[in-house]
Amino acid sequence: PGTCTISGRVVDDRPEYQTQLRLVHPDGSATPFSVKAVNREYKFMNVPEGTYQVRGKGNYSNGLGIFSDESSLVTCERDERVILNFVIRSFEG
């Protein structure tokens, strides 16, 4: 089986948020893939082919959360580079 890279930006992230992103299987079960956002960017390397959901979390307050304007479900195919961006914003919009 092949591998791919999944990466992207986390707009409006700040170091104090300590944003982390992880890959989970579509059924919600865990994978060993978890990375910290650094300089508003993240990258998962050598991800086995398959379908995953990218989830983010951090130390957000004041009604903030991490969101993607696209589906957070990605399909990883051999030698592919998948880009999925996130933004830190209010739950209200």
pLDDT tens-digit readout, 59-92: 998 889 999 989 999 999 999 999 999 999 998 7
DSSP 19-40: -EEEEE-TTS-EEEEEEE-BTT
pLDDT tens-digit readout, 20-34: 999 999 999 999 999
Most distant CA atoms of the chain, gap in Å: 44
Percent helix, strand, coil in the chain, to 5, is 5, 60, 40
